[in-house]
């Protein structure tokens, strides 16, 4: 009688606990996981906008790549991270190629400089207006080759607060938690072949 009750209990536990886990695992394998990107950090130092519209500034950003596919590795090459304001490229730099393991989170850090960049009318007006209010707002754009396909990652509205002169920039109160830590921004991502656009 005891053995029969134990067997029934084990079968019940398998149905309640084990079977859903197997189903979830099978669904995840069928879908193959996903790849998402978030802007986890953004800061600026040495911000200087001259009266004739020339910008000098150092940008430090970190993009997190969350790879939840446990079927294949991802090979990144030709990685370029750019800082944009109103569609004008302010600064950019290249990152080393790397391979992201299956089911892995990788942080991509980029440090770039805008060195006396002549701003167009629209970004100059907005940056001058924003900095006068104590913050700046910019976009982060990353391109790369991913397993032979093209990858485009767009992180909109990195808003950071100008705290002191010479301008050092930290997390804006509107995008930070109570401890002043930068709140992550979800990025849009497009992967497409050379024959097809995003």
Q: What is the pLDDT of residues 59-85, one digit of tens each?
A: 999 999 999 988 889 999 999 999 999
Other beta carbons less than 10 A from residue 172's beta carbon: 21
Going by C-alpha positions, the residue among 87, 102, 85, 95 that lies closest to residue 143 is 95
Report the pLDDT averaged over residues 97-106.
Answer: 96
pLDDT at 11: 53
pLDDT at 194: 78
Range of 11-15, 112-116, 157-161 with top mean pLDDT: 112-116
This prediction has a pTM of 0.76
Contacts of 60 (CB under 8 A, 6+ apart): 41, 42, 43, 44, 45, 109, 110, 111
Report the pLDDT averaged over residues 139-151.
Answer: 97
Going by C-alpha positions, the residue among 50, 56, 93, 61 that lies closest to residue 157 is 61
- For residues 198 and 152, is the Cβ–Cβ distance under 8 A? yes
Does the structure show a pLDDT above 80 at 175?
Answer: no
At 98, list the tokens: 């790397």
Going by C-alpha positions, the residue among 106, 95, 31, 96 that lies closest to residue 66 is 106
Choose between 33 and 112: higher pLDDT. Answer: 112
């Amino acid at each position: 009688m005891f053995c029969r009750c134990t067997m029934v209990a084990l079968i019940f536990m398998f149905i309640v606990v084990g079977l859903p886990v197997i189903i979830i695992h099978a669904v995840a394998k069928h879908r193959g996981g996903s790849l998402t990107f978030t802007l986890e950090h953004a800061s600026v130092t040495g911000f200087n906008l001259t009266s004739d519209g020339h910008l000098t500034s150092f940008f430090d950003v970190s993009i997190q790549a969350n790879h939840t596919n446990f079927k294949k590795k991802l090979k990144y090459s030709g990685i370029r991270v750019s800082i944009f304001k109103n569609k004008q490229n302010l600064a950019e730099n290249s990152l080393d190629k790397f391979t992201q393991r299956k089911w892995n989170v990788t942080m991509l850090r980029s440090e770039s400089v805008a060195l006396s960049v002549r701003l167009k009318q629209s970004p100059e007006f907005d940056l001058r207006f924003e900095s006068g209010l104590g913050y700046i707002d910019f976009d982060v754009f990353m391109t790369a080759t991913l397993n032979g396909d093209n990858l485009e990652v767009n992180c909109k509205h990195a808003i950071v607060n100008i705290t002191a002169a010479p301008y050092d920039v930290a997390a804006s109160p509107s995008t930070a938690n109570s401890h002043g830590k930068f709140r992550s921004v979800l990025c849009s991502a497009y992967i497409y072949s050379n024959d097809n656009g995003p």
